[in-house]
Chains A and B, each alone.
Chain A
Amino acid sequence: AQKVTQAQTEISVVEKEDVTLDCVYETRDTTYYLFWYKQPPSGELVFLIRRNSFDEQNEISGRYSWNFQKSTSSFNFTITASQVVDSAVYFCALDPYSSNTGKLIFGQGTTLQVKP
């Protein structure tokens, strides 16, 4: 099965707290790509990061960091020192290389609320 699970439906934190959004995926492909998107209240999804299955290096971009672990099929996203502007729905997505279609398999999304 090809599937993405974001078990956390909603998370609420107070500004400046660190928060981790979990993403677990299933795929039979050995080559695949994982993505994170942010959907602010305006509705448009914004691309955050792409990771291929052969690159397990963690990545940091400002306050954002991603932890990719093939052993646990997880691709978790951490926001350090959260801000109110981080409030959004965050989606994890999978693109199995074998599909040759660019079709993304999305998780259900995690709604993050950052309170001042």
Chain B
Amino acid sequence: DGGITQSPKYLFRKEGQNVTLSCEQNLNHDAMYWYRQDPGQGLRLIYYSQIVNDFQKGDIAEGYSVSREKKESFPLTVTSAQKNPTAFYLCASSIDGRLAYNEQFFGPGTRLTVL
């Protein structure tokens, strides 16, 4: 069964802590993406990676970091520098990020709450 897995489903963080959200795909896709979803604001792009060992900032990268050491994995770290991290985080992948017609496949999401 091919797809994207995200863990954990729910995550609670104390202020000042860094946390890492996991995203794994077995679709053999080159491109991976991280989005943040807030109520009434749609999805906003945090970081994306078109190929292993390369990634680019999206529209709201401040306070976040990523790595892409393996094709199937794209973890997102929410650092203490992120002022308002409580949100729903979605990971996605596509076959080839350079081609506009490729749809993105999404994981089930991680809901992060800062206590």
Contact = CB atoms under 8 A, between A and B. Distances in A.
20 contacts: A33-B100, A33-B101, A42-B108, A43-B111, A45-B90, A45-B104, A47-B103, A47-B105, A52-B101, A96-B100, A97-B100, A100-B98, A101-B97, A102-B31, A102-B99, A103-B45, A104-B43, A108-B41, A108-B42, A109-B40
B109 A102 contact: no
Interface residues of B, number: 31
Interface of A: 6, 9, 31-33, 35, 37, 42-47, 50, 52, 91, 95-97, 99-104, 106-109
Contacts of B40: 9, 108-109
Contacts of B72: none
A101 B48 contact: yes
A57 to B, nearest CB: 16
Interface of B: 31, 33, 40-45, 48, 50, 56, 58, 88, 90, 92, 94, 96-109, 111
A91 B58 contact: no
